[in-house]
């Protein structure tokens, strides 16, 4: 499982000229389920993300979570985070979960974020999406379940 968190002042996702998700201050999360990923990992990611202190306090230090700043989340499925780019010039994506399992884990992850108390907007799984963001900082965190203990 992989996720890329971007602290944003605003973000939106559009599909076929329709905005499907839009937030102000918060996190844009690009999410990818890989073969062998499970609900426990998705729930763990949601817990960590909800408590991760990457927003600044009054002293300019990163001491606040997205919950602490009353921020929202825009979660976007992105199977390309599973890219195998080491051989050749065209990345392969065979490490990504199959579409039905990927969608199930994406929805589970979004629900787990909501269960942590976050307001969650979403993209459309499997759709071609136009994602816009204003990165705040910039602050970008890469999470990979292979790195978690």
The pLDDT tens digits for 13-51 are 999 999 999 999 999 999 999 999 999 999 999 999 999
Task: Select from 69, 82, 70, 67 the least CA-distant residue to 3.
Answer: 82
Q: Which helix (H) or strand (E) holds 4?
A: strand 2-15
Pick the catalytic residue: 14, 20, 41, 78? 78
State the CATH architecture for 2-147. Answer: 3-Layer(bba) Sandwich (3.50)
What are the boundaries of each domain within the chain?
2-147
User: For this structure, is 6 an active site residue?
Assistant: no
Pick the catalytic residue: 31, 55, 79, 109? 79
> Tokens 């973000």 sit at which residue?
11
| Cα angle value 29/33/39 (rounded, 5°) | 95
Contact 39, 108 (CB under 8 A): yes
Residue 103 burial (CB count, 10 A):
15
* Measured CA distances, 87 to 81, 84, 96, 116 (Å): 16, 8, 17, 39
User: For this structure, is 108 an active site residue?
Assistant: no
pLDDT digits (tens, 9 = 90+) for 75-119: 999 999 999 999 999 999 999 999 999 999 999 999 999 999 999
Rounded distance, CA 36 to CA 42, Å?
A: 12
CA 88 to chain centroid, in Å, comes to 28
User: For this structure, is 20 an active site residue?
Assistant: no
Helix residue spans in 2-148 (DSSP H): 39-51, 99-115
Give the global pTM. 0.95
């Amino acid at each position: 499982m992989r996720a890329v968190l971007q602290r944003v002042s605003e973000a939106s996702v559009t599909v076929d000229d329709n905005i499907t998700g839009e937030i102000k201050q918060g996190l844009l999360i690009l999410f990818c389920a890989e073969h062998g990923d499970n609900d426990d990992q998705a729930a763990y990611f949601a817990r960590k993300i909800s408590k991760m202190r990457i927003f600044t306090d009054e002293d300019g230090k990163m001491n606040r979570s997205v919950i602490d700043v009353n921020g929202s989340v825009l979660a976007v499925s992105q199977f390309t985070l599973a890219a195998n780019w080491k051989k050749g010039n065209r990345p392969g994506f065979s490490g990504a979960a199959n579409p039905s399992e990927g969608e199930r884990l994406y929805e589970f992850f979004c629900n787990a974020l909501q269960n942590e108390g976050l307001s969650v907007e979403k993209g459309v799984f499997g759709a071609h999406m136009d994602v816009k963001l204003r990165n705040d900082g910039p602050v970008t965190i890469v999470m990979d379940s292979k790195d978690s203990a």
